[in-house]
Amino acid sequence: MELPDFMKYSGKYTNSGFTEKISRVAKRAGAKLVYAALILFYTLQSDKVSVKDKAIIIGALGYLISPLDVVPDAIPIAGLGDDLAVLIYVLQKVWTDVSDDVKQKALDRLSKWFDEDEIAEIDGIFDKTQKQETPKQTEQ
pLDDT tens-digit series, residues 92-137: 999 988 999 999 999 999 998 898 988 888 887 665 434 444 444 4
State the pLDDT confidence band at 87, using cuts at 50, 70 and 90.
very high
Dihedral (C-alpha) 22, 28, 86, 19: value to the nearest 10 degrees?
Answer: 0
When comparing pLDDT for 134 and 90, which is higher?
90
pLDDT 10s digits, 8-35: 888 888 888 888 888 887 887 888 899 9
CA distance 38 to 119: 13
User: 68: burial class by Cβ within 10 Å (0-12, 13-18, 19+)?
Assistant: exposed
Q: How far apart are the first and last CA of the chain?
A: 40
Q: With DSSP H G I counted as helix, E B as strand and the rest as coil, what are the percentages for the chain, rounded to 5?
A: 65, 0, 35
pLDDT 10s digits, 41-67: 999 999 888 999 999 999 999 988 887
